[in-house]
Amino acid sequence: MSAEKTAINPTRAQDFPEWYQQVIKAADLAENSETRGCMVIKPWGYGIWELIQQQLDRRFKATGHQNAYFPLLIPLSYLEKEAEHAEGFATECAVVTHHRLEAVKDPVTGKTKMIPAGELAEPYVIRPTSETIIGAAFARWIESYRDLPLLINQWANVMRWEMRPRLFLRTAEFLWQEGHTAHETKDEAIVETRMIHGQYEEFLRDHLAIPVIPGEKTENERFPGADMTLTVEAMVQDRKAIQAGTSHYLGQNFSKAQNISFTGRDGTVQHAHTTSWGVSTRLIGTLIMAHSDDDGLVLPPRVATQQIVILPITPKEDSRQAVLDACQALAETLRHQTFCGDPIRVHVDTRDISGGVKKWDWIKKGVPIRIEIGPRDIESRKVCVQRRDQAIATKEFADKEEFIQRASDILGEIHNALLARATEFRDANITPCDSLEAFDAHWATENPGWLYTPWAGTREQEEVLSKQHKITIRCLPIAEAQLPASLANTSSKCILTGQETTTRAVWGRSY
């Protein structure tokens, strides 16, 4: 489509937040539900989450983790044991106080109402996160150093009451995985925390084609109750940041509160060092904002519900069956090819609707490759190939056998193109900053991108700057972070205090 006419209105440039909502609607990913702040994830959107889940789950199991499941309801007293942790989530908690409903007829209207009855002796909190309930289980399961490390992951839903919901990015209920581990020593727990942090960075890059900056959160931004929080920060197309995944070293804070103790090698009773880490359906929102365009969703191939869609072109009824047979045969052949170790996912669209409607349906759904086959293509043994990472009008007529052999390579090329595009955009929108004057001027516009500064300020000074400009330190990049070359020669003096420092901070506005 031309710049004047696009499938999604408004465009990104016109109204990015509304564009985001319209992409979700056009791709049929999700919708708001009758329950305030919650969403219904539709099959196309849930298929993306299933692929994220499957691929991450393989990674976790390859590093020795096992899946388990823990209760949705957490006794209030469990949260009270870890005051700092509970305080961090207190305003977001949904609380269950009764265990049954009673039917009561209104004497005036005659209508029957359901009234909560049977007040609970102790309220339950619908899990905002599971450190406390899992910690109670760990306390039962661990007796000796021989029981360590204990490496557990849970795929679950959680609830954090959200006043300003946005599909996938912020909803009251969302899906995630939460890893929880217990270790004999601090060093072992920190190795775990960093290993998972690296797994998240690799997953976003290698599966979602999203470059991230890995780093540590400041004390202001840490997970409640943690000694250290590591994060991967992604930039999306309006130049805002999204915290795409976090890994926390919890020290002995939770183990002391919940008596996760063990008999050590020297015979003394010791408290375990614990970690927790997680990513959520927010990853879907991140990839939408990172890759999609004004014609709809653009999906990285590894998490595309269908990687190739074949569109039969049947202008005449007498050739229809031959075209459909050719499409199905090609699909079956392609399904025997693999991409990144998994069979290629192929769908033949046999719906009795116009070809133009089909084409735009799959464009808006973000399918990486569209194939068109008509009667003439059967005769010439060619296929019309269209890639979602290229301009909509771009097409290539390829030899069918050659395409079959190259299908996996083309999917890889699409992934690499999306990653390169997102990396180039991110790198062009991170600006080195050496002075407070330049720092203040930078935030005068709504979405100016990120700043990279030397930093030696206090927690209080960070808070002042954050409130003043409605920003946060997204992370203090770790030594291994792959940063743009333009950031290599920043000053060594803190922009605020003037002190010499080796610490660098990435500042940005965020979702």
Average pLDDT over residues 347-361: 95
Q: Are residues 322 and 241 in the same domain?
A: no
Residue 1 clears pLDDT 50, i.e. is over it = no
Chain centroid to CA 341: 22
2 has a pLDDT exceeding 50: no
Does the residue 174 lie in any domain?
yes
Mean pLDDT of 19-46: 97
4 occurs within a structural domain:
no
In this prediction, residues 31-50 reach a mean pLDDT of 97
Q: How far is CA 70 from each of CA 156, 157, 227, 280, 369, rounded to the nearest angstrom?
A: 9, 11, 24, 17, 40
Of the candidates 66, 284, 271, 54, the one whose C-alpha atom is nearest the C-alpha of residue 179 is 66
Q: Given 240, 263, 291, which residue is the final one in a domain? A: 291
Query: Are both 65 and 84 inside the same structural domain?
Result: yes
Residues 203, 85 within the same domain: yes
Residue 285 in contact with residue 303, Cβ under 8 Å? Answer: no
**Band of residue 245 on the pLDDT scale cut at 50, 70, 90:** very high
269 & 333 share domain: no
Least confident stretch, 104-108, 228-232, 269-273, 422-426: 104-108
Q: List, in sequence order, every residue forming a beta bridge with 75; answer none if it has no partner.
A: 124
- Provide the domain count of the chain: 3
* CATH number of the domain bearing residue 364: 3.40.50.800
Prediction pTM value: 0.95
Whether the CB-CB separation of 159 and 127 falls below 8 Å is answered with yes
The CATH number linked to 463 is 3.30.110.30
Does a structural domain hold residue 255? yes
pLDDT at 24 over 70: yes
Strand pairing category for 308-312 and 346-348: parallel
| pLDDT band per the 50, 70, 90 thresholds, residue 87 | confident
Q: Classify residue 343: in a domain, yes or no.
A: yes
Give residue 137's domain range. 16-97+127-291
Q: Averaging pLDDT over each range in 105-109, 184-188, 377-381, 489-493, which range is the top one?
A: 184-188
Of 70, 181, 179, give the one whose Cα is nearest residue 126: 70
pLDDT at 373 over 90: yes
In a domain, 353, yes or no: yes
State whether 164 and 252 are in the same domain: yes
Determine the Cα–Cα distance for residues 310 and 330; give it in Å rounded to an integer: 9
Residue 318 has pLDDT above 60, yes or no: yes
- Residues 229, 269 within the same domain: yes
| Domain C-terminal end among 362, 380, 413 | 413
348: β partners: 310
With vertex at residue 46, the alpha carbon angle to CA 351 and CA 275, rounded to the nearest 5 degrees, is 165
* Lowest-pLDDT range of 58-72, 84-98, 327-341, 462-476: 84-98
- Token pair listed for 42: 């539709």
Tokens of 161: 């009451």
Specify the pLDDT at position 490.
82
pLDDT grade for 48, boundaries at 50, 70 and 90: very high
pLDDT band for 81, please (50, 70, 90 cuts). Answer: confident
**Please, is 302 exposed, middle or buried when counting C-beta atoms within 10 Å of its C-beta (0-12, 13-18, 19+)?**
buried
Per the prediction, the chain carries an average pLDDT of 95
pLDDT of amino acid 4: 59
Q: Are residues 287 and 317 in the same domain?
A: no
Mean pLDDT of 300-311: 98
Is there a single domain that holds both residue 286 and residue 406?
no
For residue 108, being part of any structural domain is answered with no
- The rounded distance, in Å, linking the Cα atoms of 349 and 323 is 12
Domain membership of residue 296 (yes or no) is: no
Q: Do 253 and 281 belong to one domain? A: yes
Lateral strand order in the sheet of 73-75 = 73-75, 112-126, 95-105
Among residues of the chain, what percentage have pLDDT more than 90? 91
Does one domain contain both 193 and 64? yes
pLDDT category, 90, cuts 50, 70, 90? confident
Judgement on whether residues 456 and 402 belong to the same structural domain of the protein: no
On the question of pLDDT at 496 being above 50, the answer is yes
**3-state SS assignment for residue 125:** strand
129 pLDDT above the threshold of 70: yes
Residue 135 to residue 30: CA distance in whole angstroms: 34
> Does 111 map to a domain?
no
The CA distance from 507 to 439, in Å, is 10
Per-residue model confidence as pLDDT tens digits over 392-418: 999 999 999 999 999 999 999 999 999
Parallel, antiparallel, or unpaired: how do β-strands 112-126 and 73-75 relate? antiparallel
**Together in a domain, 403 and 479:** no
**For range 175-180, the mean pLDDT:** 98
- β-strands 228-235, 112-126 pairing: unpaired
Identify the H or E element spanning 102.
strand 95-105
CATH number at residue 160: 3.30.930.10
Pick from 265, 291, 317: which residue ends a domain? 291
